[in-house]
Amino acid sequence: MLFSGCSGSPSKTPDIAYPSAPPETAMFDTARIHDETAWTTTNTHDPAIIKTDDGTYYIVSTDVKVGGPPVPGVMVRKSEDLIHWQWVGRAFDGVPAEASAWSGGPTLWAPDVKKIGDKYHLYYSSSTFGSNRSFIGLATSDSMEGPWKDEGEVIKTGEGDGPNAIDANIAKDEDGKLWFVYGSFFEGIHILPLDPATGKPAEAGFGKVIASRDSKIEAGAVEGPYIIYQPKLKKYFLFVSFDSLSSDYNVRVGRSDSITGPYLDYNGRDLADTAYDPQFDVGTKILGGYKFDESDGWVAPGHNSILQDGDNDYIVHHARPKADSNWMYLHVRKLLWTADGWPVVSPERYAGEKTQAIPEDDLAGEWQRIVHERLIDGVVESESLRLLPDGRIGSEDSKDTWTFDGDHTLTLHWDGAFKETVLVLPSWDWELNRATLVFTGLDDQGQAVWGKKVSAT
Distances from the Cα of 379 to the Cα of 244, 290, 370, angstroms:
13, 5, 10
Residues 6+ apart with CB under 8 A from 179: 170, 171, 172, 173, 191, 192, 193, 194, 227, 259, 260
Which amino acid makes up residue 104?
G
Is 309 in the active site? no
Q: Return the SS3 of 273.
A: coil
Separation in Å, CA 364 to CA 204, 358, 404: 59, 12, 11
Whole-angstrom distance, CA of residue 222 vs CA of residue 37: 33
Radius of gyration of the chain (CA): 22
46, 112, 167, 443: the catalytic one is 46
Q: What is the 3-state secondary structure (H, E, C) of 410-448?
A: EEEEECCCEEEEEEEEEEEECCCCEEEEEEEEEECCCCE
- 3-class DSSP assignment, residue 56: coil
Residue 270 appears among annotated catalytic residues: no
456's CB contacts (< 8 A; 6+ apart) are 10, 12, 364, 365, 366
Burial of 96 (0-12, 13-18, 19+ CB in 10 A): buried
Enumerate the H helices of 114-184 as residue ranges. none
**299 close to 247: Cβ distance less than 8 angstroms:** yes
Query: Which one is catalytic: 112, 151, 223, 431?
Result: 223
DSSP state of 102: H
Q: State whether the Cα torsion 138-143-145-146 is positive or negative.
A: negative
Q: How far is CA 51 from the centre of its chain?
A: 16
Catalytic residues: 46, 223
